[in-house]
Structure 1
Amino acid sequence: MNVFRPFSLNIRGKLHTFDRPLVMGIVNVTPDSFFADSRTYDDNAIKARVRKMIDEGADIIDIGAYSSRPGADEVSVEEETMRIAKGMTAIRQIAPDAIISVDTFRADVARVAVESYGADIINDISGGDLDDNMWSTAAQLHVPYILMHMRGTPATMQSMTDYKNVTADVVNDLSAKLRKLRLAGVADVIIDPGFGFSKTIEQNFDLMRNLDIIAETLDAPLLVGISRKSMITKSLNISSADALAGTIALNTIALMRGASIIRVHDVAEAVAALRMYQLSNK
């Protein structure tokens, strides 16, 4: 089953059309992200990780400076901005043309990342709920915006998993926000169902089974981020360090059900899975 649909994004004033799914590589400029191997905090480590990801075939680099795992330490706006500036500077020194998304729910951090350091996409885990200025900022900056579904905050989200029907409720919430974003002037919106965010393990798998419905209903590019997450580790009773095989399996299923972008820690393996998917759908 090949349900991928080509999509376009305006990157730095130029329209890019993508005729295959993309691989987004994760770079965490944090000391406490849930997967230890994704943490890069000094310039050399950042450059080495990004260079490796690009060599392995990453289409987008996603840089985050605030861990969203439950129980993570609070990070001030100033600290997050400093971390993003450090990471973006290192990345641009070795990859001036790379497409970079900034993973933040704060409008001020997003603005600095785009205006001062050349970020191309805003990736907002809160879907605009944690900063009232985020949507207007994305519109003013004329950058694509990743709209993710989450309830509450990273600290409270796992107490907010009461849904009548998780797929229907997520679609309804994202659909309403998508209309408001477009009215606010955000032209390019990518949707993310928010695997692991205010969802139980069972609800995560319900969303995975219905990805094609989500993509078709919302009529927007679909990002799937399940890399080494608890829906894998808890289901298999393993650690995140041992979750690569489960990640590859779920990413392959996501591609078969319409994912436009897969967000991963392990780029080479994701690119291989994508290639197998493409060859199987010629």
Structure 2
Amino acid sequence: MFEKRDRFLSLLGQRSIIMGIVNVTPDSFSDGGRFNSLENAKAQAQKLVAEGADIVDVGAESTRPGHTPVPEDEELRRLEPLLEGLVQAVEAPVSIDTSKAAIARYAISRGVCVVNDVWGLQRDPAMADVIAVGGAAVVIMHNRADVDEKRDIVDDMRRFFDHSLGLAEKAGIPRHHIMLDPGVGFGKTKLQNLEAIAGMTKLQDYGLPFLVGLSRKSLLGSLLGDDPAIKLIGTLAANLTAAAHGASIFRVHDAAEHVTAFKVFDAIERA
């Protein structure tokens, strides 16, 4: 686990990083129900890695708008038949998309090396300690339980991150194990989602890598419509724009297209 974790962390800052998505849920907005078996989940993970994904992100609870929260035992029931086998099936590191400490602990015990927490260590009070003890890296995502169009979302992101980073420091999570995520699509209006992407520029003083999850989001549908081909173009455009504003890790369904796009982006940036 630690070898994969350190290999992944060593890439940060060197080039754009592609995180491929494997949802083992019945109700995710884009691919719910497709990868619920070990065979299908392994095949999808291997496909993403073959296409160039640097890390595979596994989630057993949909966090789409209007989702039904999944109890801890149900989330574990979805993961137990396949997580260990999936981790062993790919050379790339695997992250777990969860906000529950017990699920994070289980995943780390099965070889997962990154915890992708959509509540940024603030939903489950045990989460920071579990990550610290397990030695995993962590993605701290900005989130809110309510939407307020009058809120300065970038200021709110800073307050949120300051609190989460305090929790991480208290638990003993090394700072170089931490990534931040503006949380596009979570607790924000359409305008605030756009402001959150652009606002990463103002948050570079944290000195931490930013991850963005823009793939096939409803934000893109509201701008472009729901045609899958158009949504892919929109996702690529949004991720390249996010990269120009400071993002370096991109959580996507379509790994091959993003690997190609970021080869061009990174070549121009290096020049």
TM-score, structure 1 length as denominator?
0.87
CA contact 1:122–1:145 (8 Å) conserved in 2: yes
Q: How far apart are the structure 2 equivalents of 1:14 and 1:268?
A: 24
Q: Which residue of 2 aligns with 1:25?
A: 20
Runs of 4+ in 1 over 4 A off after TM superposition: 10-16, 239-242
**Shift of residue 212 of structure 1?**
1.9
Q: Which residue of 2 aligns with 1:273?
A: 261
Q: Which residue of 1 aligns with 2:212?
A: 224
Change (3 A) 1:70 1:237: same
CA contact 1:29–1:87 (8 Å) conserved in 2: no
**Shift of residue 231 of structure 1?**
1.3
Q: How does 1:58-207 map to 2 (within 5 A)?
A: 58-95=53-90, 97-115=91-109, 117-152=110-145, 159-187=146-174, 188-207=177-196
Mark the runs of 5 or more structure 1 residues left unpaired by the alignment.
1-9, 153-158
Change (3 A) 1:13 1:246: closer
Change (3 A) 1:241 1:31: farther
Candidates 225, 241, 245, aligned match of 1:253: 241
CA contact 1:26–1:38 (8 Å) conserved in 2: no
1:194-214 CA-partner distances (Å, limit 9, x unpaired): 000001111111112222222
Q: Which residue of 2 aligns with 1:4?
A: none
What code does the residue aligned with 2:189 have? T
Q: How many residues align?
A: 264
**Shift of residue 162 of structure 1?**
4.3
What code does the residue aligned with 1:205 have? L
What code does the residue aligned with 2:168 have? L
CA contact 2:87–2:112 (8 Å) conserved in 1: no
Secondary structure of 2:115 counterpart? strand
Q: How far apart are the structure 2 equivalents of 1:57 and 1:14?
A: 18
Q: How far apart are the structure 1 equivalents of 2:94 and 2:184?
A: 21
CA contact 1:11–1:143 (8 Å) conserved in 2: no
What code does the residue aligned with 2:113 have? D
Secondary structure of 1:36 counterpart? coil
Q: How far apart are the structure 2 equivalents of 1:194 and 1:239?
A: 24
What code does the residue aligned with 1:194 have? G
Alignment root-mean-square deviation, CA = 1.9
Q: How far apart are the structure 2 equivalents of 1:77 and 1:164?
A: 32
**Shift of residue 44 of structure 1?**
1.9
CA contact 2:22–2:35 (8 Å) conserved in 1: yes
Q: How far apart are the structure 2 equivalents of 1:55 and 1:38?
A: 22
Q: How far apart are the structure 1 equivalents of 2:5 and 2:55?
A: 17
Change (3 A) 1:39 1:20: same
**Shift of residue 11 of structure 1?**
4.9
Q: How does 1:26-45 map to 2 (within 5 A)?
A: 26-36=21-31, 39-45=34-40
Candidates 37, 44, 47, aligned match of 1:52: 47
Q: How far apart are the structure 2 equivalents of 1:71 and 1:257?
A: 29
Q: How far apart are the structure 1 equivalents of 2:244 and 2:96?
A: 27
**Shift of residue 176 of structure 1?**
2.7
Q: How far apart are the structure 1 equivalents of 2:33 and 2:235?
A: 15
Q: How far apart are the structure 1 equivalents of 2:228 and 2:173?
A: 35
**Shift of residue 172 of structure 1?**
2.1
